[in-house]
Amino acid sequence: MALVVQKYGGSSVADASCIKRVAQRIVATKKAGNDVVVIVSAMGDTTDELLDLAKQVSPLPPGRELDMLLTSGERISMALLAMAIANLGHEARSFTGSQAGVITDSTHGKARIIDVTPGRIQEALGLGHIAIVAGFQGVSQDTKDITTLGRGGSDTTAVALAAALEADVCEIYTDVDGVFTADPRIVPTARQIPRLSFEETLEMAACGAKILHLRCVEYARRFRLPIHVRSSFSSKEGTWVFTDPETEGTEMEQPIISGVAHDRSEAKITVVGVPDKIGEAAAIFKTLADAEINIDMIVQNVSAAATGRTDISFTLPTNDAQTALTALKKIQSKVVFDSLLFDDRIGKVSLIGAGMRSHPGVTATFFSALANAGVNIEMISTSEIRISVVVDEDDVDAAVNAAHQAFELDADEVEAVVYGGSGR
Ligand code: ASP
Ligand code: MG
């Protein structure tokens, strides 16, 4: 008998008939002889709707209350799912994150899991029940308040519980058949990827591929927990993400490029005319760190404006841009830079593949493809298994398609089906 953890995203439980279909799937897994723990997201776009509602009553809702509100979305779907399963003649019990033992720090809106004590889940399994857990939420160890893990956090709940329960597999159900070589909405000929290593998946998640939450992949890698990303609308085998001891660290059978990811959620800030002196960049990035802002790419150039000075550009989540600009203005007189430029019309396109470590020429092929497509590169960053470029927002689709073609990732026929609609 195996212990299977299944996570269903918002599009898989979007309405009553979806919930009934998912209930059947869960019961089938149980009937096959498995213990089943299910993590659910809020129905469809519920979380967005609740956020809208909050904004209507207050421009700046207190974090504690916002978390209280948003976690109600998952409570609705978990209870309905438990009812649908009961209606099929099986015992199911729903649990909030707090009841399931998801213990977090007290940072509202992006809490980190610090412990998982799933006693009640184990008890339910021991009684032969199916356990349904509300995703994306926990309870703070210090304040005992309800917290949320950040948008898309149900993936992380699923992996954290799967690790704590020592599950055999964590299945992440979504509205596409797995992870694709590019977003099928942009590249219709994108192919489904059968197997991915944790490190490639981490790079993809960090580069905007919306299929898995970054922290969930980090967590799964730490515990070496295999993830199976698949569609709740079909029975096709999806994408397996795991540590493959035979190919890990070797170049055996690794495709050079696994996929192309893109991200439109970042903006670029340029600090113009920074004195070219020791410690200036440190002062700038210390200020941003103190404001808890995560920086992505950084480029330093000789200033176009003045000699003896440099321009420092960096990218960050657009949502954090206002905070960053305000923090930097405060140190303008101390660092004595000239001005700040802000550009949110950018997009990032990334090429990811473990095989690029050992294959020269990948960058040249990528950049030639972009040039042939008439796309100008604004910034570049690389890791061992990734090349990312920042381009004009309007060029993102063309850049993704050009890269996809250049590395012959296209399927012979269109195979990507998007079953749901919202993408998660
Ligand atoms: N319902 C939450 C969200 O939409 C969490 C999740 O879906 O994973 O972000
Ligand atoms: Mg969602």
Choose one of 158, 174, 190: the last residue of a domain: 174
Q: How many domains does the chain divide into?
A: 2
Cα atoms in the Cβ-side hemisphere of radius 13 Å centred on 423: 11
63 and 164 in a single domain? The answer is yes
- According to the model, what pLDDT value does residue 424 have? 43
* Domain-embedded: residue 219: no
Residues with C-beta atoms within 5 A of ion ligand 2: 10, 41, 424
272 and 421 in a single domain? The answer is yes
* Domain-embedded: residue 217: no
7 and 124 in a single domain? The answer is yes
150 and 276 in a single domain? The answer is no
254 and 160 in a single domain? The answer is no
158 and 266 in a single domain? The answer is no
Ligand 1, pocket-test mutation among 151, 155, 156, 172, most atoms within 8 A of CB = 151
167 and 254 in a single domain? The answer is no
The enclosing domain of 164 has a CATH number of 3.40.1160.10
CA angle 265, 271, 274 (to 5 degrees): 155
| Ligand 1 centroid – CA 43 distance (Å) | 9
Give the position, in ligand 1's atom list, of the atom nearest the Cα of 152.
8
- The Cα–Cα gap between 210 and 183 comes to 9
395-419 per-position pLDDT tens digit:
999 999 999 999 999 888 776 666 6
Structural domain span for residue 423: 247-424
139 and 276 in a single domain? The answer is no
- According to the model, what pLDDT value does residue 213 have? 87
Give the position, in ligand 1's atom list, of the atom nearest the Cα of 42.
1
Choose one of 142, 174, 206: the last residue of a domain: 174
The enclosing domain of 371 has a CATH number of 3.30.2130.10
Residue segments in the chain with a per-residue pLDDT below the cut of 70:
244-254, 415-424
- According to the model, what pLDDT value does residue 423 have? 42
* Domain-embedded: residue 170: yes
- According to the model, what pLDDT value does residue 419 have? 67
Q: Residues with Cβ within 6 A of ligand 1?
A: 9-10, 41-42, 47, 73, 135-136, 151-154, 424
* Domain-embedded: residue 237: no
Pair type for strands 113-116 and 146-148 = unpaired
Residue-wise DSSP of 48-89: HHHHHHHHHH-SS--HHHHHHHHHHHHHHHHHHHHHHHHHTT
* Domain-embedded: residue 83: yes
Asked if residues 36 and 6 have their Cβ atoms less than 8 Å apart, the reply is yes
167 and 252 in a single domain? The answer is no
167 and 50 in a single domain? The answer is yes
> Which of 116, 213, 224 is CA-nearest to residue 168?
224
Choose one of 174, 202, 218: the last residue of a domain: 174
Number of continuous H segments (helices) and E segments (strands) in the chain: 12, 20
* Domain-embedded: residue 162: yes
181-208 per-position pLDDT tens digit:
999 889 999 999 999 999 999 999 989 8
Task: Write the residue with the smallest CA distance to atom 9 of ligand 1.
Answer: 151
152 and 267 in a single domain? The answer is no
* Domain-embedded: residue 196: no
